[in-house]
Structure 1
């Protein structure tokens, strides 16, 4: 079998990922993947025949990735391709879906599931069934269109006139990939927020390994995935599948950006590394429910970690993205610590920062899951984890309603047992 050292991936799913997904590769252990990702949330959400809340890239098999291993994904670069985007606070449209508007979309008039459609003009009702009935299962109740500067440093939300001009050239402004099937969200021509300015700070909302059950891509996390338990559509799952088969690939954590490393579980042979849902910027929590979806070119390196059996991802953000108490100790600081410890006759041991991802139907559930995952992985009592997080780390909100980053300083001897000490030490340039 030939293992690609660099694999280019510009193919996308129809919203469903899992063990029956079409996969590319395999890419070599230590090889690179370049993804051309289409915009994530709103475009697929308003497209009637896409069966998940997103349109992610098809997964890639990785050499040597066996079930029970993990894969370190080194996020090297994100290039934004879109010149404009649109987003906002949304709500479901009655009669345009059954049960879950992200998943089971229907034509309001014919009740046909995942119907064929056409785009007629621009605006809220541009997406229609073939009989002319407005077909989008979501409406944007307060939205904006944002234009980026040529250097991709800032974005500015535009007025109605410019939003309509952008809407009439939607695919061009969003640089929609050739293989994408979505309706570009700028077609809606939203302009409820004008003149708001933001710094561009791109990150990936989806980057991970595929789950061990076929599910909608946007639901591969403990918060959205909860809605799949005993659902009334073909992608229903059991509570046991919810607890054990998901991989939390859909995180919307803004520190999953160039220079970070995410370590993900292998729950299907080959891992199935996929990417999607790139954004231009987001504050912690994604409190509007959605943010600035863009087309991106994403470059990652993948390395298999043998015998690291994870329940969910671990994240090594860039140092500046760590909370203050979790930042790595530098040599001068550690020398001071050692001198103080010697004076009081207390032994201390080298530590390094690590973030454990927790997910669940609520933020409290997600935090609890993060603590439990840490305790199990590190062989600690839960109470020890709580104390270490409190005085050497933090709990940060990745996404409302239920994704958190549990940061703590972890003894290097434990990281050595997990086969990740070398990665962490090199990433944070530690020298104990």
Structure 2
């Protein structure tokens, strides 16, 4: 990937075919302290039903960040997330085993003529609409076990699920309804016109499901996490990995943590020079855990500021969510609480540690327990603490939340600001929470 002119503001509307890695073409170079704006297509469902994709998402080409070197970190302060789709379809998936090899998200093949990653055309609507351009067979590897189509209000505050007739009407205008960007190469999932659960009202709060930095090895974008990445271990395709240790090169961009939304700051590891920031997988809403494994995929724009944190070597992301998204036990202390704490500490002859800041350490793994252990390890490395101390602090001033089943978590903790100062992120925590 060649060097490019540094831009203070960089707009990106070019995408990969489902891969992240050091060999992907740069989208451009943004200044350290600059701003990135992206226009992203829907994922996961669109890429999932489009056989030419090598991964389950359609994310932006990687963005080089000025001054970012291996062993640094990049802070992404998310200013805006705006949904541009008018509707989407989602639900629980089924797999068409004849249409893939080891992995239905990765190694696609036409079930009749055997063409790998076949070009496809759309014929009509419904789950058999995606046809192999060579032989005309239904070439998609996914369908719905239970699916629904949802239309949004103009302000994207709520959505209502459609009946059969309304879902079909939206399917006939699928590209426009989903606002699929011009440079996107996916088929829109609204084509499938699922219509179960009609008339259900849902609240919307958009967030970014897959955002972060480029891993030093190429992998499917949807598998850049410790849970989805398990399917790469021992896989007999071009992106198969030999061991869990190889999967340790991931950067956990695919988090599906609903708190990664406008107002939050995400601190990401730099594992290739230039960082390779990428953005994708916008969702209109999601409950904790993403229990269907999928949610409301949408097109939209993201605007975020970028800052390099020199010498902050991380294994995975750190999230500074909006203050309103923090658990009660992890909120910064109020003036009244501090005053009461000072009096109590004085009564017992103890020096009160007054300056504490909330952080969330992202962990991922094959299961929720594995992901939590991964978060313990990462928090211990970040804060210079034993696992026992991490567990104790997270029990007394934090906890663990489920980002995605089976294995992405947010480990909440109130950390001593003196430690965060040493690690170079205290200013970000102070700014985020007005400390």
TM-score (norm 1): 0.98
CA deviation after TM superposition for structure 1 residue 241, in Å: 5.4
- The aligned counterpart of 1:424 is 429
1:195-274 to 2 correspondences below 5 Å:
195-239=199-243, 242-274=246-278
Q: Match of 2:99, SS?
A: coil
Q: 1:415 aligns with which of 392, 411, 420?
A: 420
- The aligned counterpart of 2:69 is 66
CA deviation after TM superposition for structure 1 residue 151, in Å: 1.5
- The aligned counterpart of 2:387 is 382
RMSD of Structure 2 on Structure 1 (CA): 1.0
CA distance in 2, matches of 1:15, 1:265: 21
Q: Match of 2:359, SS?
A: strand
Q: 2:108 aligns with which of 105, 122, 125?
A: 105
Give yes or no for the alignment of 1:90 onto 2:90.
Answer: no
TM-score (norm 2): 0.97
What are the Cα deviations for residues 112-143 of structure 1, in whole angstroms up to 9, with x where unaligned? Answer: 11011111100010011132211110111110
What are the Cα deviations for residues 306-362 of structure 1, in whole angstroms up to 9, with x where unaligned? Answer: 100000000000011111111111222212211211121111212111100010011
CA distance in 2, matches of 1:53, 1:2: 31
Q: 1:79 aligns with which of 79, 82, 85?
A: 82
- The aligned counterpart of 2:358 is 353
1:277-292 to 2 correspondences below 5 Å:
277-292=281-296
CA deviation after TM superposition for structure 1 residue 244, in Å: 3.1
- The aligned counterpart of 1:31 is 34
CA distance in 2, matches of 1:247, 1:241: 13
CA distance in 1, matches of 2:247, 2:109: 29
The answer as to whether partners of 2:229 and 2:247 remain within 8 angstroms in 1 is no
* Bigger mean CA offset, 236-245 vs 279-288: 236-245
CA distance in 2, matches of 1:374, 1:242: 21
- The aligned counterpart of 1:402 is 407
The answer as to whether partners of 1:226 and 1:242 remain within 8 angstroms in 2 is no
1:328-343 to 2 correspondences below 5 Å:
328-343=332-347
1:102-141 to 2 correspondences below 5 Å:
102-130=105-133, 131-141=135-145
Give the count of matched residue pairs.
430
CA deviation after TM superposition for structure 1 residue 162, in Å: 0.7
CA distance in 1, matches of 2:13, 2:5: 20
What are the Cα deviations for residues 367-416 of structure 1, in whole angstroms up to 9, with x where unaligned? Answer: 11101111122111101111111110010000011000000110111101
Structure 1 residues not aligned, in runs of 5+: none
CA distance in 2, matches of 1:193, 1:232: 38
CA distance in 1, matches of 2:367, 2:234: 18
The answer as to whether partners of 2:257 and 2:404 remain within 8 angstroms in 1 is yes
Q: Match of 1:255, SS?
A: coil
Q: Match of 1:425, SS?
A: helix
Q: 1:16 aligns with which of 16, 19, 26?
A: 19
Q: Match of 2:78, SS?
A: strand
1:178-189 to 2 correspondences below 5 Å:
178-189=182-193
The answer as to whether partners of 1:213 and 1:241 remain within 8 angstroms in 2 is no
What are the Cα deviations for residues 75-133 of structure 1, in whole angstroms up to 9, with x where unaligned? Answer: 00011000000001002112100000000011000111101111110001001113221
Structure 2 residues not aligned, in runs of 5+: none
CA distance in 1, matches of 2:208, 2:248: 24
